[in-house]
Amino acid sequence: MDFDPKKNYYDILDIPETATPEEAKKAFKKLAVKHHPDRGGDKAKFQEINEAFQVL
């Protein structure tokens, strides 16, 4: 996974830059469930959320 300096991965996960890894994981799980393509979510948004979590 490559870092994209144009993206703010914290904003994608809707967490502050001071968030702990546990807070990032919790936010990722919440957003992943909401946007998962198998549950009618947007595939591109899900991929963006996944990328943000992996980079952070």
Mean pLDDT, 10 residues at a time, over the chain (56 residues)?
82 96 97 95 95 94
Q: Which amino acid, 9?
A: Y
**Sign of the CA dihedral running 11, 14, 18, 22:** negative
Q: What is the pLDDT of residue 1?
A: 64
Which domain range does residue 43 map to? 9-55
Does any domain span residue 2? no
At 3 the pLDDT is: 72
Q: What is the pLDDT of residue 4?
A: 78
Q: Is residue 4 part of a domain?
A: no
Is the residue at 3 inside a domain? no
Domain CATH for 22: 1.10.287.110
What is the pTM for the complete model shown?
0.86
The Cα-based distances of 20 to 6, 11, 33, 38 in angstroms read 22, 14, 20, 28
Q: Please count the other Cβ atoms lying within 10 Å of the Cβ belonging to residue 9.
A: 19
Number of independent structural domains in the chain: 1
* 1 domain-assigned: no
* Rounded Cα distance, 22 and 5, in Å: 23
